[in-house]
Amino acid sequence: MDFTKFAQGTFANLAEDKQQAIIRAALFEFASQGYQRASCNNVVKAAAISKGSLFQYFGSKEGLFLFVFGRFVGKVKAAVKEATARQEDFFALVQAILTAGLHFIKRYPQYFQMYLQVLFEQEVPRRRELLAEVRLFSSDYFGPICARAREQGVIRTDIGVEMVIFILDAAIDRFLQAYARPYLDAGLGLASLSEADLQDKVEELLVVLKNGLQPPGLYSGSRGKGQGARGER
Amino acid sequence: MDFTKFAQGTFANLAEDKQQAIIRAALFEFASQGYQRASCNNVVKAAAISKGSLFQYFGSKEGLFLFVFGRFVGKVKAAVKEATARQEDFFALVQAILTAGLHFIKRYPQYFQMYLQVLFEQEVPRRRELLAEVRLFSSDYFGPICARAREQGVIRTDIGVEMVIFILDAAIDRFLQAYARPYLDAGLGLASLSEADLQDKVEELLVVLKNGLQPPGLYSGSRGKGQGARGER
DNA sequence: CGTTAATATGACCACCTGGTCACATTATGG
DNA sequence: CCATAATGTGACCAGGTGGTCATATTAACG
């Protein structure tokens, strides 16, 4: 919860640049190694401080990690707040979040890499809690928004809200990951695109999310009943 | 490449049940810990063999891992071959693959967990190679299929093939992950669904993939150019 | 049986980890 | 100047890792 508990204490009294050096070293380590593989020895080496000091400042590896992740959470919240400030239209909001995500990755690539490590790693202290803090497309945050969009007739009513959130989450998460980790992107080549081309891809993605993969003419009825034909039941 | 190099050698001469015990122990370890965190000591303990034997059989931790992953690859290829045997329609094929994936997870949960570990972990021997071996929605495999579907007018032509593959990959991957790892599923609750309800969700997902999130009436034009009116409209 | 080859074993090795703590250094303030 | 408090330091610890190898056990064969 309170990731800023080191805001006062010995660490806070350090010169600004020394603090920055330590944060940078720790962030680099967690971003490149994840939590478990990250080595405090590497951090103290890179930050040019002694091991004893590091543990004096943060108490434990876990404390250091929570502190660094807390900084990330702060930056995310600020970015989201700004991006979603005045978006009325549902899909415009989705697009704004996606675009904000891309900008965030460009500005704070290391923080995002650290986030991905936490997302992919199993054994990370307070993992759920931490992820919940930055995950937008959760039922909590996005459920009401979807519900409202549904009432306004912007999204179809024959699929569940959970499915809407699920598909948005899957697409956007993957898109951001593909941007941040080129080898995940199966051929989109996002990482090497110009700003303008990237925006084109974003719009292309939104077209698919809105209208699907089938050509407009071929609308294949609502789900259930006859549609299946195949199995039994 | 050749993950079966232990098919002959000391290990192959072992009694069948002893082989199984070792495979089971190793699979459990890799599935629950990933590659790096997996401990050879744990494996020999669980398999009730000596450490020297394990290294005699497989040479190294990496050798053991590649062997076990090779078994997984074999099972996947068999499952895919069977599932895609005679699917003509494009979306029926997608659905068949998704359904086959769910069945695979149900039958071989540990193998799938191990796959996810490899997917999420960075430093795994021959990672790319291994993942490529089991990844279906790659440009290589799925590109031609999409191209054909496009010519037949089953999928729209105003979005790139890469984007089609991307979105299919994202949605299906995530769906399978949500099924295998409940905490990833933001509210769908796939893991606890009955077979029939699960199929319903599969169909629901396919409806979205085909027709998008917007109601049929609201088709919002092809991408690019004019679409941008974004502010108002 | 004896001899030789194959296999099984676990103590041992070098190395790394997060964390500690007695001690050295520096700051503070009177 | 001293005395006290705060901070910095790195040798050290217990516990883990993947991997080795001399030795013990078993199998094979004549």
Side chain identity at residue A167, one-letter code: I
Q: Return the structure tokens found at B121.
A: 């972990």
Total residue count of chain A as it appears in this document: 233
What percent of chain B is modeled with pLDDT above 70?
Answer: 89
Asked if B132 reaches chain A (Cβ–Cβ under 8 Å), the answer is no
**Cβ pairs A/B, distance under 8 A:** 187
Q: How far is B67 from chain A (nearest CA, A)?
A: 23
Measured between beta carbons, the chain A residues lying within 8 angstroms of B155 are 213-215
Q: Return the structure tokens found at A215.
A: 């050509």
- Which whole number is the average pLDDT over B136-140? 86
Tokens 């490449």 belong to which residue? Answer: B1
Per-position pLDDT tens, chain A of length 233: 455 566 568 999 999 999 999 999 999 999 999 999 999 999 999 999 999 999 999 999 999 999 999 999 999 999 999 999 887 799 999 999 999 999 999 999 999 999 999 999 989 999 999 999 999 888 888 999 999 999 999 999 999 999 999 999 999 999 999 999 887 777 788 999 999 999 999 999 999 999 999 998 765 544 444 343 343 43
Question: In angstroms, rounded to a whole number, what is the distance separating the alpha carbons of residues A223 and B67?
Answer: 43
- Which whole number is the average pLDDT over B214-229? 54
Domains of chain B: 10-212 (1.10.357.10)
pLDDT in tens, B26-80: 999 999 999 999 999 999 999 999 999 999 999 999 999 999 999 999 999 999 9
Whether B187 sits inside 8 A of A123 (CB atoms) is no
pLDDT at position B187 over 90: no
Is B10 within 7 A of strand C by CB distance?
A: yes
> Nearest residue of B to residue A177 by CA position?
B170
Asked if A190 reaches chain B (Cβ–Cβ under 8 Å), the answer is no
Q: How far is B214 from chain A (nearest CA, A)?
A: 4
Looking at residue B5, its pLDDT comes to: 63
pLDDT at position B98 over 80: yes
Q: How far is A10 from chain B (nearest CA, A)?
A: 34
- pLDDT band for position B182 (50/70/90)? confident
Q: Where are the alpha helices (DSSP H) in chain B?
A: 10-13, 16-37, 40-47, 51-58, 61-83, 90-107, 109-120, 127-134, 139-151, 161-180, 195-211
Looking at residue A183, its pLDDT comes to: 74
B179 near B185, Cβ under 8 Å?
A: yes
Looking at residue B218, its pLDDT comes to: 60
